[in-house]
């Protein structure tokens, strides 16, 4: 492991600041370096003049070739099993941080008493889970590569077996508490840092449970926005709809909030300040799916209002990550270079070129670009590379008002999600189909052109008839949307955020990240128009705003208004800013005051300072 990283660092040694130790710069020195210098020296020697010369700054051999379609994904993605957190009277989840018994020094859970009535959680008031961030020594990305070290969140299956990066099934109206233990080794060598802050992207989660980047912790260290280290941290996910203050819980609104604000496909990942790309690349990421009465996760649901989308084994999340491997097949990542490391292998749920055997019926696939920096445009193709149609139902975890029928592509910036329904009953048994990425990309700056046939990343084999008739469906309307009114738009102040290059790093409004001070203070209940601008002709920034979704009002390219694509006309939490593009979007800021962030979700840009703190204040 170590030798390969050191080899790699030779390539980028010119990026190192004077006085640092090129072969073993500690994570702490990198962190303090960012703080003290604004990192301007770090990149100063790298004078970049054009996209081409920038791309040449780091030259790596390609990852070793792999034989495709050797490993199968499981036919079903099971939900993680709960852990009873009430068995030890000293460790019962509570509103205040339990620092006496090794919890890190987090802020107290907001509205705890509203939800639970007592300082401590009582029996059956919430679904409770335990995750342990751990080293896993023998992960196999591909049988042609050796088993190797990754970091995973370890939950458990129903039978008690460990479940790496488990998928959560949550339900609106039912709170969830996740107790996250940090058991990563504090003497870790290689990319990644053993302090963590887990973000659940993009649930309506109070600030103290949002995985704020400065809230990182380990047993010995804590970020600048926590009051102390600890062995674990409790994250409280109320699972209410956004708009709680305007749409209070009551007999006619059992969940609380505005049900038009429901989300579905979410994911959790590490969000440690300066180390999100390296820690997520190390493997700290998983799915959190949430259901409600409409999107109920039951295709047999007798409730006439239920959508009855494909469910159970036929509701299948797929996470894509770009990774690079050295000549020995060991993953590498440069967490020092502002160029990061461009992944030329694409993993699907942690596997390179896997196979998924499917039944001849409809499936809901939840596609997630889990980063760190590659963009995708996926097509479903047959053996002859002819594109196949599907239905696009949800973007960024928000069901669209109406499904988009007869679609042929899913474009995903980092952290974007696209849910599609594929009907395999159109095909004969034995048919083989592929998911292929046709977006050309050669560095971490952003994508280029679309080119067929593209790279096949996942193979489907239709290998069986369904065990029972397929009763799932895609109704002609999905979830109603609350668009801002003309009066709301006219009354909303406009705030401008400029995403640009600065000293070979990445800045927002000419500043590097500072988790200690907010760049905006927004009154709770406020509405604003945010204009996101990318003045560069060279880079793409998938911008993510935590906590609240927005509505894209307008898009511009080179100052000229261009149409908003159909899949972006629902609510969003990632806004893909291509070169010389800008976006105007409408936001509401509700329910849970505190500190949040906006950042480029190209995690390499994010870690090299393209992030800003903003607060909701009362
Ligand atoms: Cu970016």
Model pLDDT for residues 554-601, shown as the tens digit of each residue: 999 999 999 999 999 999 999 999 999 999 999 999 999 999 999 999
375 Cα to the center of ligand 1, angstroms? 11
600 Cα to the center of ligand 1, angstroms? 5
DSSP for residue 450: E
201 has a pLDDT exceeding 70? yes
Give the span between the Cα atoms of 465 and 455, in whole angstroms.
Answer: 29
125 Cα to the center of ligand 1, angstroms? 41
108 Cα to the center of ligand 1, angstroms? 33
**Alpha carbon distances (Å) from 531 to 234, 414, 575:** 35, 20, 11
566 Cα to the center of ligand 1, angstroms? 23
48 has a pLDDT exceeding 60? no
- As a whole number, the mean pLDDT across the chain is 92
pLDDT at 59: 80
Please report, rounded to a whole number, the percentage of residues in the chain having pLDDT higher than 70. Answer: 91
Contacting residues for 301 by C-beta, under 8 A, at least 6 apart: 308
511 has a pLDDT exceeding 50? yes
590 Cα to the center of ligand 1, angstroms? 27
102 has a pLDDT exceeding 60? yes
602 Cα to the center of ligand 1, angstroms? 5
181 Cα to the center of ligand 1, angstroms? 30
The number of beta carbons lying within 10 Å of the beta carbon of residue 144 is 15
Picking from 62, 140, 78, 136, the residue whose alpha carbon sits closest to that of residue 354 is 140
In the chain, % helix, strand, coil (3-state, to 5) comes to: 10, 35, 50
541 Cα to the center of ligand 1, angstroms? 3
201 Cα to the center of ligand 1, angstroms? 17
Instruction: Tell me which H or E stretch contains 311.
Output: none
pLDDT at 58: 59
Give the rounded distance of the alpha carbon of 114 from its chain centre: 29
Q: What is the pLDDT of residues 225-245, one digit of tens each?
A: 999 999 999 999 999 999 999
Q: Which domains does the chain possess?
A: 1-58+74-310+478-618 (2.60.40.420), 314-464 (2.60.40.420)
Give the rounded distance of the alpha carbon of 376 from its chain centre: 15
Instruction: Tell me which H or E stretch contains 119.
Output: none
Give the span between the Cα atoms of 390 and 363, in whole angstroms.
Answer: 10
379 Cα to the center of ligand 1, angstroms? 24
Mean pLDDT for 471-497 is 98
Instruction: Please state whether beta strands 168-171 and 581-588 pair in parallel, antiparallel, or not at all (unpaired).
Output: unpaired
556 Cα to the center of ligand 1, angstroms? 18
Helix (H, G, I), strand (E, B) or coil at 501: strand
DSSP codes of every residue in 545-604: ESSS-EEEEEEEETTEEEPPPGGGSSEESEEEE-TTEEEEEEEE--S--EEEEEEESSHH
Which class for 132: exposed (0-12), middle (13-18), buried (19 or more C-beta within 10 A)?
middle
583 Cα to the center of ligand 1, angstroms? 15
Confidence of residue 49 (pLDDT cuts 50, 70, 90): very low
Lowest mean pLDDT segment, chosen from 26-40, 79-93, 498-512, 517-531:
26-40
Q: What is the pLDDT of residues 75-98, one digit of tens each?
A: 999 999 999 999 999 999 999 999
* Residue 348, both tokens: 């699907």
204 Cα to the center of ligand 1, angstroms? 24
7 has a pLDDT exceeding 80? no
pLDDT at 203: 96
Mean pLDDT for 207-217 is 98
274 Cα to the center of ligand 1, angstroms? 14
Tell me the H-state helices in 372-525: 486-491
415 Cα to the center of ligand 1, angstroms? 12
352 Cα to the center of ligand 1, angstroms? 25
326 Cα to the center of ligand 1, angstroms? 25
547 Cα to the center of ligand 1, angstroms? 19
**Alpha carbon distances (Å) from 106 to 86, 98, 162, 274, 437:** 20, 9, 27, 20, 41
pLDDT at 378: 98
Instruction: Please state whether beta strands 315-325 and 362-369 pair in parallel, antiparallel, or not at all (unpaired).
Output: parallel
393 Cα to the center of ligand 1, angstroms? 27
What is the signed CA dihedral for 273, 277, 279, 283, rounded to 10 degrees? 150
446 Cα to the center of ligand 1, angstroms? 8
Q: What is the pLDDT of residues 289-347, one digit of tens each?
A: 999 999 999 999 999 999 999 999 999 999 999 999 999 999 999 999 999 999 999 99
Q: What is the pLDDT of residues 133-187, one digit of tens each?
A: 999 999 999 999 999 999 999 999 999 999 999 999 999 999 999 999 999 999 9
601 Cα to the center of ligand 1, angstroms? 6
Contacting residues for 118 by C-beta, under 8 A, at least 6 apart: none
Lowest mean pLDDT segment, chosen from 51-65, 72-86, 204-218, 438-452:
51-65
Mean pLDDT for 52-75 is 80
498 Cα to the center of ligand 1, angstroms? 11
134 Cα to the center of ligand 1, angstroms? 29
| Residue pair 197/208 in contact by the 8 Å Cβ criterion | no
544 Cα to the center of ligand 1, angstroms? 10
- Please tell me the pTM assigned to this model: 0.92
pLDDT at 26: 55
């Amino acid at each position: 492991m170590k030798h390969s990283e050191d080899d790699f660092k030779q390539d980028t040694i010119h990026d190192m600041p004077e006085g640092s130790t090129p072969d073993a710069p500690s994570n702490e020195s990198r962190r303090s370096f960012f703080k003290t210098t604004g990192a301007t020296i770090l990149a100063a020697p790298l004078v970049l003049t054009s996209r081409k010369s920038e791309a040449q700054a780091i030259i790596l051999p390609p990852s070793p070739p792999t034989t495709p379609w050797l490993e199968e994904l499981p036919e079903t993605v099971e939900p993680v099993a709960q852990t009873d957190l009430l068995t030890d009277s000293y460790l019962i989840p509570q509103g205040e941080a339990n620092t006496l018994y090794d919890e890190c020094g987090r802020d107290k859970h907001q509205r705890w008493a509203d939800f639970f009535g007592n300082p401590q959680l009582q029996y059956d008031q919430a679904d409770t889970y335990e995750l342990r961030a751990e080293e896993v020594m023998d992960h196999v990305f591909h049988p042609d590569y050796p088993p190797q070290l990754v970091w995973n969140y370890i939950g458990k299956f129903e039978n008690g077996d460990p479940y790496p990066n488990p998928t959560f099934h949550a339900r609106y109206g039912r709170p969830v508490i996740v107790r996250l233990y940090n058991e990563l080794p504090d003497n870790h060598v290689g990319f990644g840092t053993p302090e963590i802050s887990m973000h659940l992207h993009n649930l309506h989660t109070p600030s103290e449970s949002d995985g704020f980047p400065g809230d990182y912790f380990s047993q010995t260290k804590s970020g600048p926005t926590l009051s102390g280290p600890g062995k674990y941290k409790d994250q409280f996910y109320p699972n209410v709809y956004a708009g709680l203050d305007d749409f209070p819980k009551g007999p006619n609104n059992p969940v609380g909030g505005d049900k038009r604000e429901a989300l579905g496909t979410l994911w959790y990942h590490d969000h440690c300040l300066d180390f999100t790309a390296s820690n997520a690349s190390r493997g700290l990421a998983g799915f959190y799916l949430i259901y409600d009465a409409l999107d109920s996760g039951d295709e047999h649901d007798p409730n006439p209002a239920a959508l009855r989308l494909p469910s159970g084994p036929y509701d299948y999340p797929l996470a894509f990550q770009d990774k690079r491997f050295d000549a020995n097949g060991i993953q590498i990542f440069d967490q020092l270079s502002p160029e990061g490391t461009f992944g030329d292998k694409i993993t699907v749920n942690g596997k390179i070129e896997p196979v998924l055997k499917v039944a001849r019926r409809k499936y809901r696939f939840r596609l997630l670009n889990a980063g760190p920096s590659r963009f995708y445009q996926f097509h479903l193709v047959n053996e002859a590379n002819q594109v196949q149609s599907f239905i696009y139902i949800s973007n960024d975890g928000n069901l669209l008002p109406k499904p988009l029928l007869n679609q042929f592509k899913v474009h995903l910036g980092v952290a974007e999600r696209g849910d599609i329904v594929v009907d395999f009953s159109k095909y004969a048994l034995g048919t083989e189909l592929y998911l292929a990425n046709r977006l050309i990309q050669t560095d971490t700056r952003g994508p280029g052109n679309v080119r067929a046939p593209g790279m096949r990343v996942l193979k489907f084999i239709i290998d069986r008839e369904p065990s029972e008739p397929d009763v799932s469906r895609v109704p002609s309307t999905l979830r109603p949307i609350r668009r801002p009114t003309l009066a709301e738009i006219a009354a909303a102040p406009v705030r401008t955020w400029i995403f640009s290059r600065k000293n070979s790093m990445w800045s927002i409004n000419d500043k590097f990240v500072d988790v200690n001070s907010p760049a905006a203070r927004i009154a709770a209940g406020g509405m604003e128009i945010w204009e996101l601008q990318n003045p560069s002709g060279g880079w793409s920034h998938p911008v993510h705003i935590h906590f609240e979704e927005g509505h894209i009002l307008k898009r511009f390219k080179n100052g000229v208004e261009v149409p908003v694509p159909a899949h972006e006309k629902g609510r969003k939490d990632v806004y893909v800013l291509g070169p010389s593009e800008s976006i105007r979007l409408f936001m509401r800021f509700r329910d849970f005051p505190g500190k949040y962030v906006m950042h480029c979700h190209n995690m390499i840009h994010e870690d090299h300072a393209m992030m800003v703190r903003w607060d909701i204040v009362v």
